[in-house]
Amino acid sequence: MSIDRRSHTPVYRQLANLIREGIYAGQYVAGAPLPSEVTLSQEYGVGRDAVRQALALLRSEGLVSTERGERSRVRVPPERVSVELPPGGRAVARMPADPERVERDMDEGVPVIEVHHPDGTTEIHPADKTELTRPV
């Protein structure tokens, strides 16, 4: 696929879609670096700003991670921990505040799950590493 300059979809979203499709198709392997911004810019004929916006969108979706001074990488799906939702309890998903995300060493774009227990206590878990279960 290529970028359709006549489309009403912004170029950076089209590029993000192409990279996302490449990730799902196995073209870009989990843990491996993506092509550099310059390479993506040249390959798709778009500006580096569009590449940066596309990567930011994919980061917000939790598909890639970026460390300062390094190329973006496809995120390795983390192992999940089972958390039991107790009878009478409830779960609420929300986006963490930046200090909370940093404190919990979470990637940008990953929501948290609050597990509210009937006794009033609350547990907070990163959604990408949590599997909610119900007692049988």
Enclosing domain of residue 62:
11-74
Give the rounded distance of the alpha carbon of 124 from its chain centre.
18
105: left (phi over 0), alpha (psi -120 to 50) or beta: left
CATH of the domain at 44: 1.10.10.10
| CA–CA distance, 47 with 44 (Å, rounded to integer) | 9
Based on the fold, state whether residues 59 and 94 are members of the same structural domain: no
Indicate whether 68 belongs to any domain: yes
Q: What is the pLDDT of residue 135?
A: 84
Q: What is the number of structural domains in the chain?
A: 2
Q: For 101-112, what is the mean pLDDT?
A: 87
User: Are 26 and 70 part of one and the same domain?
Assistant: yes
How confident is the model at residue 110, as a pLDDT? 86
Same domain, 67 and 115: no
Predicted confidence (pLDDT) per residue in 26-74, tens digit: 999 999 999 999 999 999 999 999 999 999 999 988 899 988 889 999 9
User: pTM value?
Assistant: 0.70
The DSSP bridge partners found for residue 112 are 94, 126
Q: Are residue 85 and residue 68 in the same domain, yes or no?
A: no
Residue 125 lies in a domain: yes
Residues 89 and 128 in one domain: yes
Percent of the chain with pLDDT over 90: 78
Q: Is residue 2 part of a domain?
A: no
Amino acid at 128: D
Asked whether residue 1 is domain-assigned, the answer is no
Instruction: Return mean pLDDT, the chain.
Output: 93
Does 38 map to a domain?
Answer: yes
